[in-house]
């Protein structure tokens, strides 16, 4: 696959999922060089139609059976978040193609690079013609993207973070649950509380994923491990609390970062403005600070605001981060990683 503008045969596995549909939109938005586009699904979703209004021929794609697909027909495959599909097909597909996996299955597995394009994409250069690449969870992408420029100038000693995660992080059932409960409760009915174990409408739940024996949730553990890996700081102290909130799209993070060297807010703002994939919302602007409800329709950046000195510690800053978890942190990251692979193969 050499040449100035190589066109790739691309498969999207889990194409009807929130991330799968967003990847297809993002491929078109980034003008990815497509020779073919295959929408693949498990048996229960075969034949479903997916909008592809910016495609060259049709306005819809019909899904095909992933079990019957020959991955030697693909140069690149996106696996879009369903662990069962990744466990069954991703490694076999990687024998023929680049595989970019958005599930937690291969994160932190030895020999599999964990990549956020705006943080450590350089480790993919040079790239071979095939192989498996894992993508971090959306909260980890947002956190590492915001921290990376600051770590480069001042080092990092410790990070404390509370994440406020949208229901779309659990897929379409989470969105349906919040919508249904909201309508029910406004009509005087009781919430079902099925998708999250309790009511999510008009509520916050301090649990994302399973809570383990030590009281830590799997999502909190992923935040530690993935952030350390992305920043290349295996000993970094990360203390996390992950909370589910009644927001459809957009994760928010309250970050408290302690640094090895002094860094003041003015210097930090200058560095963040130059950071890859970041937009700073300053207190003097009309927006004042980022919120998921106002930025979910403009999901192109990791937004940072409310940056200030931590009055309780030396060499420490507090700030607020918002990013669209499906479009920016999952789909945009996946296609950006693919763009790095294409560019490195030229």
Do 251 and 114 lie in one domain? The reply is no
Same domain, 340 and 318: no
130 and 194 fall within a common domain: no
My answer on whether 16 and 128 are in the same domain is: yes
Q: Is the pLDDT of residue 177 over 60?
A: yes
Cα of 310 vs its chain's centroid, Å: 28
Report yes or no on whether pTM surpasses 0.85: yes
Query: Each residue of 322-331: pLDDT tens digit?
Result: 999 999 999 9
Rounded Cα–Cα distance for residues 337 and 326 (Å): 15
CA–CA separation, 75 vs 96, rounded Å?
7
Say which CATH number the domain at 19 has: 3.40.50.720
Percent of the residues in the chain that have a pLDDT greater than 90, as a whole number:
83
Kindly report the CATH number assigned to the domain that includes residue 314: 3.30.360.10
Is residue 207 included in any domain, yes or no? yes
Position 310 pLDDT exceeds 60? yes
Residue 87 domain-assigned (yes or no):
yes
Contact 100, 79 (CB under 8 A): yes
Q: Are residues 172 and 200 in the same domain?
A: yes
- Residue 2 covered by a domain: no
Pair (52, 83) in one structural domain: yes
Q: Please indicate whether residue 286 or residue 31 has the higher confidence score (pLDDT).
A: 31
Q: Are 13 and 40 in contact (CB under 8 A)?
A: yes
14 plus 106 within the same structural domain: yes
Between 54 and 80, the higher pLDDT residue: 80
Residues in contact with 192: Cβ distance below 8 Å, sequence separation at least 6, in sequence order: 177, 180, 181, 184
The tokens describing 287, both together, are 């927006």
Please check the confidence at residue 66 and state whether its pLDDT lies above 60.
yes
Query: Range of 269's domain?
Result: 139-326
Assess whether 151 and 293 both reside in one domain: yes
* 62/187 same-domain check: no
Write down the pLDDT at residue 59: 72
Please give the tally of structural domains in the chain. Answer: 2
Confidence of residue 5 (pLDDT cuts 50, 70, 90): low
Residue located via tokens 């945009």: 332
Q: Do both 32 and 104 map to the same domain?
A: yes
28-48: average pLDDT: 93
Answer yes or no: is 13 within a domain. Answer: yes
Place 2 in a pLDDT band, splitting at 50, 70 and 90: very low
Query: Hey, what are 45's tokens?
Result: 């979703």
Which tops the pLDDT comparison, 343 or 231? 231
Question: Greater confidence, 160 or 47?
Answer: 160
Residue 288 predicted with pLDDT over 90: no
Note whether residue 224 is domain-resident. yes
The per-residue pLDDT for 165 is 98
Q: Do 157 and 301 reside in the same domain of the chain? A: yes
24 and 106, same domain (yes or no): yes
pLDDT computed for residue 156 by the predictor: 97
- Over the stretch 109-151, which tens digit does the pLDDT of each residue have? 999 999 999 999 998 877 777 899 999 999 999 999 999 999 9
Give the pLDDT of residue 121: 93
Q: Name 176's Cβ contacts closer than 8 Å, sequence gap at least 6.
A: 195
Would residue 275 count as lying in a domain? yes
pLDDT in the model for residue 58: 59
The Cα 79–Cα 68 span in angstroms is 16
Residue 1 has pLDDT above 70, yes or no: no
């Amino acid at each position: 696959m050499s040449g100035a503008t190589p066109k790739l045969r691309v498969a999207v596995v889990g194409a009807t999922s929130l991330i799968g549909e967003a990847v297809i939109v993002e491929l078109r938005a980034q003008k990815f060089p497509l020779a073919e586009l295959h929408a693949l699904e498990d048996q229960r979703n075969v034949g479903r139609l997916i909008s592809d209004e910016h495609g060259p021929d049709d306005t819809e794609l019909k899904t095909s059976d992933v079990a019957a697909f020959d991955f030697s027909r693909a140069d690149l495959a996106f696996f879009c978040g369903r662990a069962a599909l990744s466990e069954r097909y991703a490694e076999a597909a990687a024998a023929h193609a680049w595989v970019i996996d958005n599930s937690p299955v291969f994160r932190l597995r030895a020999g599999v690079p964990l990549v956020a394009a705006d943080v450590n994409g350089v480790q993919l250069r040079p790239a071979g013609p095939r192989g498996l690449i894992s993508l971090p969870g959306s909260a980890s992408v947002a956190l590492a993207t915001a921290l990376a420029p600051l770590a480069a100038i001042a080092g990092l000693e410790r990070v404390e973070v509370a994440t406020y995660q949208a229901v779309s992080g659990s897929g379409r059932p989470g969105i349906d649950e919040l919508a249904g409960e909201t309508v029910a409760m406004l009509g005087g009915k009781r919430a079902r509380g099925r998708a999250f174990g309790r009511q999510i409408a008009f509520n916050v739940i301090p649990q994302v994923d399973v809570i383990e024996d030590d009281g830590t949730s799997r999502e909190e553990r992923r935040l530690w491990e993935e952030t350390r890996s992305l920043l290349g700081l295996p000993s970094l102290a990360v203390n996390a609390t992950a909370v589910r909130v009644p927001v459809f799209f957009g994760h928010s993070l309250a970050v408290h970062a302690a640094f090895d060297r002094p860094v003041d807010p003015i210097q930090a703002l200058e560095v963040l403005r130059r950071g890859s994939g970041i937009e700073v919302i300053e207190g003097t602007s009309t927006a004042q600070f980022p919120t998921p409800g106002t930025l979910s329709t403009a999901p192109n950046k990791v937004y940072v605001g409310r940056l200030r000195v931590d009055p309780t510690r030396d060499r420490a800053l507090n700030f607020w981060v918002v990013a669209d978890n499906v479009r920016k942190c999952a789909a945009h990251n996946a296609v950006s990683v693919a763009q790095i692979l294409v560019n490195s193969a030229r």
